[in-house]
Structure 1
Amino acid sequence: MTEQEKAMPEKAMRPEDITRLFVERSNAGDAAGVAALYEADAVLAYPPGARTVGREAIRELWERVLERRPRFEPEEPLPTLVSGDLALTSTPPRDGAGARAQVARRQPDGSWLRVLDQPEFVAPR
C-alpha cells in the first residue's frame, strides 16, 4: 500500500459501513470526513425542519455541530434494502422514538455514499 493510499479515508464498501464511519469520524471531530460520506449534491434533513444541501454545506454544518464535541454511539442497523445501485439503510434510535433512514448510491469504484439522509424522524402526534 502506498503512502497516499494509507492517507485516504476508509471508504464504505457496504451501505451499512456508512453509519459506522459516520460515528467514528464524528467522534474524532472530523467534519470533512463526515461530509466525504455524502455525494456532492446530497440532501441532509438537518437541522430539524430544514435541509442542508451539498457536501460543502454538510461539512460546514458538521463543523458547527462538532464544535460542541457531541458523543455518538453506534446503533444496530435494521436490514438494508438494496435495489441495483441504491440502498435504503436505517437505524432505530436507542430511545425508541422515531427512526433514522438514509438512501445510499453505489459509486463507480464499488463504494457507497449517502444521497439522502433523514437523521431523525418522529411521527406527528
Structure 2
Amino acid sequence: MAALYEPGAILDTGNGQLACGRDAIRRFYAKLVAAGRKFDLGDQRPAIINRDLALTSTRLADGTVTAEIARRQGDGNWLWVIDQPSIARYS
C-alpha cells in the first residue's frame, strides 16, 4: 500500500494526526491490517486532473468519501502526496 505514495507524502490518520512519509504510512497500514481491518473498494469517482496533479476520491458503501491528491512522476506513474481516507472507518 505504501508504494502508492511519494516518499514525503502525508496521510490523515484521524483525530488530527498525520502520518508523514512513506515509512510512517507503511506502519499505519500495517497496524490496520494486523488488527484485521478490511478495505472496501467503493465507487471511485473520475479523477480531476490539472497538468501533473490529480484529485481522486471514492464514495464508500457507508456514504463516506475519501480524497487524495496525486502527482504525476517523471516516469508517467501517479503517486499520492496527500491522502484523506475515510477516517471514521479507522477511529
**Which category of TM-score, normalised to the shorter sequence, fits these structures?**
0.7 to 0.9
From 67, 88, 91, give the equivalent of 2:58: 91
Q: Give the partner amino acid of 1:106.
A: R
TM superposition score normalised by structure 2: 0.87
User: How far apart, in 1, do the equivalents of 2:44 and 2:52 lie?
Assistant: 19
Residue in 2 that maps onto 1:106: 72
User: How far apart, in 1, do the equivalents of 2:29 and 2:47 lie?
Assistant: 25
Query: 3-state DSSP class of the match of 2:10?
Result: strand
Residue in 2 that maps onto 1:70: 37
Instruction: Between the two structures, name the one with larger relative contact order (CA 8 Å, sep ≥ 6).
Output: 2
- Could you tell me whether the CA contact under 8 Å between 1:99 and 1:121 is conserved in 2? no
Which protein is richer in strand relative to its size? 2
TM superposition score normalised by structure 1: 0.65
- Could you tell me whether the CA contact under 8 Å between 2:9 and 2:21 is conserved in 1? yes
Deviations 1:55-91 (A, max 9, x none): 0111111111110122222111112100001000001
5+ residue gaps, structure 2, are none
Residue in 1 that maps onto 2:83: 117
User: How far apart, in 1, do the equivalents of 2:40 and 2:53 lie?
Assistant: 26
Which protein is richer in helix relative to its size? 1
Larger Rg: 1
5+ residue gaps, structure 1, are 1-33
Between the two proteins, what is the percent identity of the paired residues? 42
Question: Runs of 4 or more off by more than 4 Å in structure 1?
Answer: none
